Structure 1
């Protein structure tokens, strides 16, 4: 019994020395207990706001117009990464494009009825948001030397 009393007294003393820290009642420790901001009728959204959709614009351009086309799409907002830490970002690789201008075509390079092979650059840029992507495509079409520029747009998943 004496031992039980001693142990009980020892445990109580240790508990007094090691008090847990309890957050202030006016400031909830866990976000799930926070009241929603705004009027009482509004509910908190269970999901954070979704980020702007991302698109990849890929285009093919003769070497003589690479910089002009890149600057045009960059001016439209393409090539910028979230939070503004990077801009004018792209990937480019060299390749050979081929086309056959048909009747009624007005080719910038080559002749109607003759297969043309041109050294071209493949350029890939990120577009944050649909409006940025549409504006970048429009600016690319204005700056590109071809009557029908080759480009592709891919919608990317936010993962």
Structure 2
């Protein structure tokens, strides 16, 4: 039985600036070998500042802002590497955990597969 090859993904998410550190601390503690590990370095992340906007519908339960009102929030864009054993299980667990600890009702995130070249 062959062992699946290690796959790497880039997980990118957006969060209010005040929540960036607690989210990263939690994720890195829970997944020390899977998230943010690049060679001999751990807890690697790239964080950039920006302004997010959203308009909650009447059915929404926003953490910030009010339904029906356009909201602008100072946010961080966070990029971290996910090391996966090839079945995307580690990636799925990381996204699931992100959703648990993130303050937003709907978490905005992207996942990209990284290729070795």
- TM-score tier (shorter): 0.7 to 0.9
Aligned mate of 2:11, from 48, 57, 68: 57
Deviation at residue 72 of structure 1 after TM alignment:
2.6
Give 5+ residue unaligned stretches, structure 1. Answer: 1-48
Q: Which residue of 2 aligns with 1:101?
A: 56
Alignment match, 1:127:
82
Distance 1:86 1:51 in 2: 20
SS in 2 for 1:149: coil
Normalized per residue, which structure has more helix? 1
Aligned equivalent of 1:149: 107
In 1: Cα distance, 2:72 partner to 2:58 partner: 18
Give the superposed CA RMSD: 1.5
Is the CA contact (8 Å cut-off) linking 1:72 and 1:136 kept in structure 2?
Answer: no
Q: C-alpha separation between the residues in 1 aligned to 2:81 and 2:51?
A: 23
Q: Which SS does the other structure have where 2:14 is aligned?
A: strand
Return 5+ residue gaps in structure 2 as ranges: none
* Bigger relative CO (Cα 8 Å, ≥ 6 apart): 2
1:50: Cα distance to partner? 7.2
Q: How many residues align structurally?
A: 109
Structure having the higher strand fraction is 2
1:81 paired residue number: 38
C-alpha distance in structure 2 between counterparts of 1:78 and 1:133, whole Å: 9
Query: TM-score normalized by structure 1?
Result: 0.65
| Structure ID, larger Rg | 1
